[in-house]
Structure 1
Amino acid sequence: MEGNTAWVLTSAALVLLMTPGLAFFYGGMVRGKSVLNMLMMCFGAMAVVGVLWVVFGYSMAFGDDLGGGLLGDVTQYFGLSGLLGGDALTGTAFVAFQGMFAIITVALIAGAIADRARFGAWMVFVVLWATLVYFPVAHWVFDFSTDDGHVGGWIANNLVALDFAGGTAVHINAGAAALALAFVLGRRRGWPKEPMKPHNLPFVMLGAGLLWFGWFGFNAGSALSAGNLAGVAFVNTLTATCAAIIGWLVVERLRDGHATSLGAASGVVAGLVAITPACAFVDTWGALAIGVLAGAACALAVGLKYKFGYDDSLDVVGVHLVGGLIGTLLIGFFGTVGVNDGGVDGLFYGGGLTQLGKQAVGAFAVLAYSLVATLIIGFLIKVTMGFRVDEEAEINGIDEAEHAESAYELSGLRGGGSSIGRAADTLAGKVPAASKEGVTP
């Protein structure tokens, strides 16, 4: 028991690291004048969701079902009452582990509205979305009924769709919400005509590495024990992610003529997303197939925003929604009881199409609920307090407007119109690459 508790607590710490990793991943992809705001949106989600989780979020997600498998009893563990002195694995360690899932899910959404969201409005959104969307969906997917009379959520227990570590509750949920907010806030000024390239690709690579590292806790930790099942999830997480990088880079090479560092980092995340629901239900060949398919499909899916006209700034829809759907649905093809007695045999292992149908119902139910609920929440915030910064703040820099800070305050290098000073201003997004005098910096 002590070893299992230690593994769950270690995994919880790994999952928490994913949110700062996400902040770097997203922060590197935005322009220099928006990076602090992006980091703050991720850290703000950590702060707010962490408080909500221990006050009532855990109880909504894992309290006794109030009927229909839709919502847990918010009063049962209010303020974690009755849990702090109990068994560590089923009490506090599990609370800590699942709390990190709630944090990262909300933070994922921020990438879709980079460069244009008011920080205060975002924080209000975090409160409402976590309460009205994430906590109920976590109950549907993660709360299993037990022999002692506890009744859990409908997807886990009535539908019996499989999701080992969050393909539906985390990635499809966040991806659908990202799509909704992209419509609510509208396009960035100048998109898609003006280039909005990542300002710091090393940040992106660093963030991807931290996400990959933390994701081993995300997936293998979901076994809730330090046994073979955790090992299966760990190895499959490695396998699928490596395959996804290759899948993404091959598409880039064939489509664009070159493989990029941004593509490699994005392939990492696509593979991690897709293997998350399936990591303990498929064998090596299934993991390889899921990885390479997700890498290639997500590389193609990020271009859909140009076709359909929604400005998903950092491709949350193309990677998390599409990747989550791929991983969730492919359990119906590649699942096998050969690696997990609690799993099922998919179509390719003699199980027919039954499980695929269950996976589809679970996936699209979460997608539809999150999309509609987020549209309502987003529009309410938009018409009451305003969700988007004004034009001047967006043009001059959301970091200065919202936080009175600059990520690259290189004042000591400025002065006298030097090339270094102008380069510093250009990096921060404050002046165009060519000065007003027409001198190339």
Structure 2
Amino acid sequence: MISRIDLRGRALSRRELLAELPRAEVDVEHAGEVVAPILADVRDRGAAALRDLAERFDGVRPVHLRVPAATIAASVEVLDPQVRAALEETIRRVRRVHGAQVPAGFTVEVAPGAQVRQRWVPVRRVGLYVPGGLAVYPSSVIMNVVAAQAAGVASLAVASPPQKDADGLPDAVVLATCALLGVDEVYAVGGAQAVAMFAYGAAGSQDEDGETLCEPVDVVTGPGNVYVAAAKRLVRGVVGIDSEAGPTEIAILADGTADPDHLAADLVSQAEHDPLAAAVLVTPSVELAGAVEAKLVDRTGATFHRGRVAQALGGSQSAIVLVDDVEAGLDVVNAYGAEHLEIQAADAADLAERVTSAGAIFVGPYSPVSLGDYMAGSNHVLPTGGCSHFTSGLGVHSFLRAVQVVEYDADALADVADRIVALAEAEGLPAHGEAVRARF
């Protein structure tokens, strides 16, 4: 079902190691060619294009592109009480963690009368995308909205695909989650067209009378399929984006002390997201590898999305990687840079401190990725495809800008005037120096 990659006894360079490791093949360039006309259509025709595209891709033509506020509010009343309690607890935990992420400004007195301050300023407006294809994600509503709210963003809009069995509205639990978070601007728009709507805005009201439906945003965030990722790539520069999220990934670094059934359950839990989901186990224990393989067969046969799981586990993006020891395994997971990294080993906490590339790290047998997907308090919108080497998961920082404020008095400027003039002349920009001299 799942392949093996044996790295034991092999001294590999970083380039060679990356070539050996499994990774989902996602052709964002080709997807970009597909979505470019969609983006142009939404930019040019606004609401009319959004309705046509919903009919084409979602199989339903929404009556309301912007979900009526009364519908959003009413969705809470029919929410299953247990689901509501779980959502409220998730919101509480995520708010606590993200509240602590808010950075403090600072003031530095460089010299007497010379001051540089740094302020953190939230973006004006954000568009938050919540997928709704193979599964629906009320948890992603929480991750996106709470981070933006903690950052102090004043205007938030959520988009999620219209559902055929919901009369063209987004999923009812998604709407209820928006209500619990105090969000009343929600659109029944999915895929690349949602990204286009956020980036360019959309003209045309519910009655097609030419009023503005959705104002453009400054930042678009949220996970999605390859077409959403391609759309975000194409609008970057028009708006900011969080990342080009690809198929989900789980990597597990485990030694012989780990429970093979726990590992199999965790690999299956992420494989059920998508046939392209990546599930990777890195271990020095051949015995553990064999036991996990057997458990994967049992769990895949018994799980609800067995076909999807089997396809993901059997794909080229998933493997059990055998290494000489845990130290070599740490090198492998650092090179891989997984979206989710579990460490289930005797010295898990120490190993976690030495991880340099991962979207989020889950330490020990009682911190499964599923916890982070819902209720750990961390954010589950994380970098995929090795992007954790250079970027972070979604958080308060995704919606803030650092602005530096410079304030010098006359004496402080006079003290460095000659040096500024010297540097300006060295760079061949004498007017820079003259701008300082003009003050004296």
Name the TM-score, length of structure 2 as normaliser: 0.23
Higher strand residue share: 2
Higher helix residue share: 1
